[in-house]
Structure 1
Amino acid sequence: MNSRVGALMQNAGIVLSQYFGYESFRPLQEDIIQTVLQGEDAMVLMPTGGGKSLCFQIPAIVMEGTCIVISPLIALMEDQVEGLKRNGVAAACLHRGVPYQEQMQIEEDARSGRLHLLYISPEKLLSQNFFEFLKRIRINLFAIDEAHCISFWGHDFRKEYSKLFALRRNFPSVPIIALTATADKLTRRDIIHQLQIPEAKSFISSFDRPNIFLQVVPAEDRNKQLIKFLSQRPNEAGIIYCLSRKSTEDLAYRLRKEGFIARPYHAEIPHSERNKTQEDFLKDKVQIVVATIAFGMGIDKSNVRWVVHYNLPKNIESYYQEIGRGGRDGLNAHALLFYTYADVIRQQQMLKELEEDRRALQEMKLERLKHFTEAHICRRKVLLNYFGEDLKEDCGQCDVCKNPPKSVDGTVTAQKILSAVYRCQQQATAQDVVDILRGHITSSIQKNGWDQLRTFGIGQEIPIPHWHSYIHQMVNMGYMDIALEDQFRLRLTEKSQAVLFAKETVLLQHRAMQKVQVKQEKPKNKAINEALFDALRLLRRQLAEQHDLPPYLIFSDRSLLDMVRQQPQTEDELLKISGVGSKKLDQFGDAFLSKIRSFGTGEMKKAKTTNTKLQTWESFKNGLQPEEIALSRGLNVVTIYSHLADLYAIGYEIPLEKYFSPQEMHMAAQAFRALGFEVTIRQVFDYLKGTVDFHKIRLAKAYLQKNGLDKALELSESELNQL
């Protein structure tokens, strides 16, 4: 290392602490930064939440000139730029949505050297004359974020990314760093080839995210299982991924009907509405986003506590990237995947639309995903093995490790399944066979007369999910086949004969269907610690509202947890907390230190009253908003709204009308006029087709019952006319 690079590396350590609030680099970060500072190209593979961005942000700050970052999504660019600005770093982004005057100012700042980082979309980069603009800037580095998009073999190929080879041709002396969280060996080689950086040094970090609990469950009764899962996490933010746009809307509707604050997100929703959903999710105003894969790539929200795949993703790369949006602050997160063969078949049908060579690759990747979902060994071993990483010991952080399967002699069970298939003349689907064995009469069973078979009802003692698991295992072992071309009916194979007639032993894996609970990490040593943790979260939310920021951009949950553990009393002590830099210390240090100190004097003791609604009233009277009350008390915000409605009904002065718009009040009033007040909130929700949130209907009912329908309708009509 020459003296220049040595001096820059010293500055890099100072920048890490001063701007980003970290005392030391994570594994590989220092080596990557040094490579870039030496003017060399780099290929970086690092998991989501592993600190990829610092690998180009820190060199951009310590070197003279501007780093050009190519990023695929506007939301991703804007989120990173906002975070950098909050840390005191000069950054901006250019895309089609930036107003002309603002764009002119950004370009002037870049030309004059006032920007450390300039984020641009690949479309903007490749637009007419933009390279001429770039040639007038002193560029110190090109950073290609989400670099897997450049590869035809990657899981998220973008045609516009494939033209980024022009960077090396136009700027041969500027180093290029390509970064991605998800790329197999083939994709990594293609990235290097496409960018024309054959000498790039490769840095492959561990793919392991040990704080994410991995769970796969059969998809039977998935709605019921999902509701239970969410009910155990009343204040935790999460993302649910669905296969289709319609299913996102249907599921979001169903969740709102159950009282959750959930919104759909997909490409056909108007741009302004999508932006509003994303912004409200980032600011903790929406708990759940039900989305297609259109959502999440641009989300840097650190406190996502769970990710659910309602349907099977298309491959392991997509699954890994999507679960990586949980637990980015390092605290515990939960990845729940619902699995059914019906989803496998849907994915197979979708693959038929691809061109032949790409289809063959994606079919192979789908098969590897099936291996993961049906694994009876540590899931993390299977997942990491896919990316070429060998995990020596079982992880202890997946459903298989928590509830290990047992090999049992399943010959009799297998014979029952094969006998049912045989007696149905191989015309039954897997679901039909389960219904036959369980003795469950359906229209299909009756139509075919299968309720008259000798095998009907002979397996009532075995739970439905276990039957499905056994059928899947037997298909995987070759004892049966699924006729994809014939409505997915089960077919016998040559191996079936040996089990039915030669009494061949069949070993099946059996896992007890116990429930696994994984709770968010919180301070455990003292009762006051948990209360302080919640108090700091509440303070963070209030400051976020004042500054119009997502709460995590003030401090992450990890930083708050460190504050609780160390309870700093001075600015110097607060600076030692992970994620606290000098800029954030100046902005927010006094408020957090004051809260920590006041907690030490017992100033914020919990209310003595045992009446939960009165506790809500006391908090509301002291100026807390419903979301803040829910956060401070560990309750679902919908419960708090229900308390306010009940308190309003018995005479407490609460301005309910501020929580719903004139349009919403008008629609609710019309619904209650049509249906009457004796109907349930759910019936009104259905009548309005989900256009008004569940909790707002609850508030509107209390308001309308007290003030009268006619008066409310007149008032809302008047307000609507003024809009």
Structure 2
Amino acid sequence: MLNQIHALHTIGISACSLDYSCSKAQTFQYDRDSDESGDDADDCDSQILITAPISDIVEGKYSLIYAHPEALLSYAQGERLLKQLQKSEMLVCIAIDEVHIILEWGAEFRKDFSRIGENLLSRFPDIPVMVFTATAPPKAQQLIIKNLNLRNPQIISINPERPNIKYSNIMRPPSSQTEEHLEEILIPIMEGLATEKQNYPLTIMYTDTSVISFCYTYLEKNLGNRQNIGDPIPENRIFAQYHQTYTEKMKFFIVQEICKPNSRIRFVMCTVTLGMGLNALHVRRIIHYKPPTMIERYFQETGRAGRDGEPSYATLYYNNTDIRSNRPGIDKAIVKYCKNTSSCKRAVMLECFGFQPIQGNQNCCDFCDSNHGQKPPSA
């Protein structure tokens, strides 16, 4: 959210985000000290993150307010804010982004997602509601409509295909050999980072925290004094880790950096925490070491690649343990996608969303490469 608010502020749109407990808001302001110093820093670098009081929202100082459902539905401060917004009649629209999360998280993980319709939208029955997602199959769309109690909504649906992304699956060894296999993957990445520096293709690797810890430690130890661009400080390191326990300040720095066309960070190891809302245009490779439990999440995370339209790659490493039937939350569609060796991977994935791939794509998947006698690219 902070990344989006930062971008809005840059173009003159006032926006803020609420913290989880609805006790304060965060926004950006221009750093006067930077401006007065005469530095050549651009607008992005001369903005600083500040804390703002909730009263600023009540007084209408922001055009857009970003919030987690917990902030508005689980805390007394959120309840008071909603009542004040009802009384002032300032609210003109409610927008819910990545709305498929209601189905993924609302039942057990973050239950306030399932309460948005009954406890938030119902307060503002005459306010327009917009919901957005790129990963909701037709059945999921109907469940979302029912969950939010939407009345005769207009559905705008387009093919979510990303024709510039090439998909590949690679069977990885048993989990007992994970560290040895990770070393095999990391060696060419490490050498590429050391020699190409900022010219190395920006790569995001989605995995779990244990793999992140191993990879980060391995790169830090083996790259040594080659791990920085410029002075040996954390901000100049060419690789980064991103997960829930990182501070908001550090997470914001990483997102802000990889959104730059000349990012110093070239390899990010992360959990799903980095997936939604990221609009880093120049990501060239997405690696999944272990598949997510749902095909919708895999499609969404691979969609971080090639947002500038340039050719990009998505590689999935999996083994039988990763797609076992008793893995919590595992969906049949992702199992089918992993096991598929007899048809186009893009077609299998898009079928889940009710669409077919564009014909004649020369940058499709490893199956189509082998079917046409071409050699698929390495990860």
TM-score (norm 1): 0.41
For residues 515 and 202 of structure 1, what CA distance do their matches in structure 2 show?
Answer: 37
SS in structure 1 of the partner of residue 53 of structure 2: helix
Aligned residue in 2 for 1:120: 67
SS in structure 2 of the partner of residue 161 of structure 1: helix
SS in structure 2 of the partner of residue 205 of structure 1: coil
Q: Does 1:267 align with 2:244?
A: yes
Task: Work out whether residues 315 and 369 of structure 1, in 8 Å CA contact, stay in contact via their aligned partners in 2.
Answer: no
Task: Work out whether residues 345 and 367 of structure 2, in 8 Å CA contact, stay in contact via their aligned partners in 1.
Answer: yes
- Whichever of the two has the greater Rg, that structure is 1
User: What aligned pairs does 1:316-355 form with structure 2 within 5 A after superposition?
Assistant: 316-345=295-324, 348-351=325-328
Aligned residues: 319
Structure 1, residues 597-643: CA drift from partner, whole Å, max 9, x if none? xxxxxxxxxxxxxxxxxxxxxxxxxxxxxxxxxxxxxxxxxxxxxxx
For residues 255 and 358 of structure 2, what CA distance do their matches in structure 1 show?
Answer: 39
User: What aligned pairs does 1:162-241 form with structure 2 within 5 A after superposition?
Assistant: 162-165=114-117, 166-220=119-173, 221=181, 223-228=183-188, 231=191, 234=196, 235-241=200-206
1:385 maps to a residue whose letter is E
Segment of structure 1 superposing worse, 140-149 or 182-191:
182-191
Q: Does 1:297 align with 2:276?
A: yes
Gaps of 5+ in 1: 1-76, 352-358, 406-510, 519-723
SS in structure 1 of the partner of residue 95 of structure 2: strand
2:303 maps to a residue whose letter is G
2:63 maps to a residue whose letter is H
Report the CA distance between 1:140 and its aligned residue. Answer: 1.9
**For 1:130, which of 56, 81, 87 is the aligned residue?**
81
Structure 1, residues 538-580: CA drift from partner, whole Å, max 9, x if none? xxxxxxxxxxxxxxxxxxxxxxxxxxxxxxxxxxxxxxxxxxx
Aligned residue in 2 for 1:516: 377
SS in structure 2 of the partner of residue 79 of structure 1: helix
Task: Work out whether residues 106 and 112 of structure 2, in 8 Å CA contact, stay in contact via their aligned partners in 1.
Answer: no
Relative to structure 1, the CA distance from residue 148 to residue 138 in structure 2 (aligned partners, 3 Å threshold; closer, same or farther) is: same
Aligned residue in 1 for 2:11: 87
Structure 1, residues 453-495: CA drift from partner, whole Å, max 9, x if none? xxxxxxxxxxxxxxxxxxxxxxxxxxxxxxxxxxxxxxxxxxx
Aligned residue in 2 for 1:399: 366
Relative to structure 1, the CA distance from residue 193 to residue 149 in structure 2 (aligned partners, 3 Å threshold; closer, same or farther) is: same
Structure 1, residues 51-103: CA drift from partner, whole Å, max 9, x if none? xxxxxxxxxxxxxxxxxxxxxxxxxx221121112122233333355369722
Report the CA distance between 1:349 and its aligned residue. Answer: 4.3
Task: Work out whether residues 306 and 334 of structure 1, in 8 Å CA contact, stay in contact via their aligned partners in 2.
Answer: yes
Report the CA distance between 1:394 and its aligned residue. Answer: 5.4
For residues 208 and 103 of structure 1, what CA distance do their matches in structure 2 show?
Answer: 42
Task: Work out whether residues 239 and 308 of structure 1, in 8 Å CA contact, stay in contact via their aligned partners in 2.
Answer: yes
User: What aligned pairs does 1:369-388 form with structure 2 within 5 A after superposition?
Assistant: 369-371=337-339, 374-388=340-354
Relative to structure 1, the CA distance from residue 342 to residue 94 in structure 2 (aligned partners, 3 Å threshold; closer, same or farther) is: closer
SS in structure 1 of the partner of residue 155 of structure 2: strand
Report the CA distance between 1:176 and its aligned residue. Answer: 0.6
For residues 107 and 347 of structure 2, what CA distance do their matches in structure 1 show?
Answer: 21
Report the CA distance between 1:156 and its aligned residue. Answer: 10
Aligned residue in 2 for 1:256: 220
Q: Percent identity?
A: 26
1:161 maps to a residue whose letter is F
User: What aligned pairs does 1:303-702 form with structure 2 within 5 A after superposition?
Assistant: 303-345=282-324, 348-351=325-328, 362-371=330-339, 374-391=340-357, 393=359, 395-397=361-363, 398-404=365-371, 514-516=375-377
| CA RMSD, Structure 1 to Structure 2 (Å) | 3.1
Report the CA distance between 1:299 and its aligned residue. Answer: 2.4
For residues 138 and 245 of structure 2, what CA distance do their matches in structure 1 show?
Answer: 34
SS in structure 1 of the partner of residue 127 of structure 2: coil
Task: Work out whether residues 315 and 368 of structure 1, in 8 Å CA contact, stay in contact via their aligned partners in 2.
Answer: no
Report the CA distance between 1:207 and its aligned residue. Answer: 1.4
Structure of higher RCO (CA pairs closer than 8 Å, 6+ residues apart): 2
For residues 203 and 89 of structure 1, what CA distance do their matches in structure 2 show?
Answer: 26
TM-score (norm 2): 0.74
SS in structure 2 of the partner of residue 304 of structure 1: coil
Gaps of 5+ in 2: 27-49, 174-180, 228-237
Aligned residue in 1 for 2:45: none
SS in structure 2 of the partner of residue 342 of structure 1: coil
For residues 105 and 328 of structure 1, what CA distance do their matches in structure 2 show?
Answer: 37
For residues 51 and 287 of structure 2, what CA distance do their matches in structure 1 show?
Answer: 42
1:252 maps to a residue whose letter is Y
2:369 maps to a residue whose letter is K
Relative to structure 1, the CA distance from residue 90 to residue 229 in structure 2 (aligned partners, 3 Å threshold; closer, same or farther) is: same
For residues 133 and 108 of structure 2, what CA distance do their matches in structure 1 show?
Answer: 11
SS in structure 2 of the partner of residue 403 of structure 1: helix
For residues 258 and 156 of structure 1, what CA distance do their matches in structure 2 show?
Answer: 41
For residues 145 and 57 of structure 2, what CA distance do their matches in structure 1 show?
Answer: 30
Report the CA distance between 1:158 and its aligned residue. Answer: 3.4
2:219 maps to a residue whose letter is L
2:352 maps to a residue whose letter is Y
1:266 maps to a residue whose letter is H
